[in-house]
């Protein structure tokens, strides 16, 4: 078991004990740190982490069905519909009912959505690079690989 010690801004020490090895706690604290940097990096861009994730996934998968995207990102169906409608109202995506399944909804970036993704991508990529601060490139690659394995995600394909 790791013996983790943290010092807060006042210098007070806190021992984590068995929580130092808690995957859930480590993931949660990592997410909070990542989101704090995300909001700093993309300040003034009026974008949330879930929205940028959706826009990037739609860019990579034009015509992806809303339900498929919801499952891939672990977003509840009702929440996905709400976000998709907000992105559609902002003119960033278009939603279209496919001929083969009138209950489904296909998502595509609009020209405005593609321009928005292109505009914020450099800030997002800089955030992602900072996100793994303190790790070597090899450690960062190993961490991403282990998390993809843990989540049973396929490794990204090389172009």
Provide the residue count of the chain.
159
Q: Which CATH class is domain 47-130?
A: mainly alpha
For residue 133, the model assigns a pLDDT of 79
For residue 158, the model assigns a pLDDT of 58
Which are the contacts of 126, defined by CB distance < 8 A and separation ≥ 6? 41
pLDDT in tens, 112-150: 999 999 999 999 999 988 888 789 999 999 999 999 999
DSSP state of 101: -
For residue 70, the model assigns a pLDDT of 96
Write out residues in the chain with pLDDT < 50, as ranges.
1
Q: Write down the domain spans for the chain.
A: 47-130
Tokens of residue 110, six digits: 């609009």
C-beta separation of 83 from 50 below 8 A: yes
State pTM to two decimals. Answer: 0.82
Bridge-based pairing of strands 106-109 and 93-96 is antiparallel
CB burial of residue 132 (10 Å; 0-12, 13-18, 19+): middle
């Amino acid at each position: 078991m790791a013996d983790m010690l943290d010092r807060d801004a006042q210098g007070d020490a806190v021992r984590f004990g068995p929580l130092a090895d808690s995957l859930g706690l480590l993931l949660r604290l990592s997410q909070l740190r990542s989101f704090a940097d995300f909001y700093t990096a993309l300040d003034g861009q009026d974008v949330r982490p879930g929205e940028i994730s959706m826009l990037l996934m739609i860019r990579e998968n034009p015509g992806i069905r809303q339900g498929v995207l919801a499952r891939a990102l672990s977003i509840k169906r009702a929440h996905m519909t709400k976000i998709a409608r907000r992105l559609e109202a902002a003119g960033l995506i278009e939603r279209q009912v496919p001929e083969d399944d009138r209950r489904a909804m296909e998502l595509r970036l609009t020209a405005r959505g593609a321009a928005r993704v292109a505009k914020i991508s450099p800030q997002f990529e800089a955030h992602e690079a900072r996100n793994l601060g303190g790790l070597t490139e090899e450690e960062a690659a190993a961490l991403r690989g282990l998390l993809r394995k843990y989540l049973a995600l396929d490794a990204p394909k090389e172009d």
